[in-house]
Amino acid sequence: QVQLVESGGGLVQPGDSLTLSCTLSGDTIGDYAMGWFRQTPGKERLFVATISKDTTNSNYGDSVKGRFTISRDNAKNTVYLQMNSLKPVDTAVYYCAADRTYYGFSIETRQNEYEVWGQGTQVTVSS
């Protein structure tokens, strides 16, 4: 069974940094483009970041550009989301997702294209 497990969420203050991790089990993460999404209660899940399986390509949501960085370590079957200069509006449940792609450079911003999802990790930014 292919599973994704996120970790690293928590309560931080505005301006702080936090790194989320997401580990894939039951398959090889190198076969997937990876993405991060986030959701707040009562609102739709939104795209945050994506990275290609060969790491050459990435994309970010407008609200996190310049503050968040997605990276991956295929040897560890893990993808990361480094979040800097956190703001209260970044408070959400963060989900990682995996999209099996053919081309190494492919990325994906559409959540409906992702086949595997994690359970989510809560990030709260508050003073």
Please say whether the beta carbons of 49 and 60 come within 8 A: yes
Average pLDDT for the chain:
97
Please say whether the beta carbons of 81 and 19 come within 8 A: yes
Whether residue 71 is predicted with pLDDT greater than 90 in this model: the reply is yes
Phi–psi pair at 69, nearest 5 degrees? -135, 125
Q: What is the pLDDT of residues 2-33, one digit of tens each?
A: 999 999 999 999 999 999 999 999 999 999 99
Judging by beta carbons within 10 Å of its beta carbon (0-12, 13-18, 19+), is residue 107 exposed, middle or buried?
buried
Mean pLDDT, residues 47-60 taken together: 97
36: three-class secondary structure by DSSP: strand
102: three-class secondary structure by DSSP: coil
Q: What is the pLDDT of residues 101-110, one digit of tens each?
A: 889 899 999 9
Whether residue 59 is predicted with pLDDT greater than 90 in this model: the reply is yes
77: three-class secondary structure by DSSP: coil
CA-to-CA distance for 47 and 36, rounded, in angstroms?
7
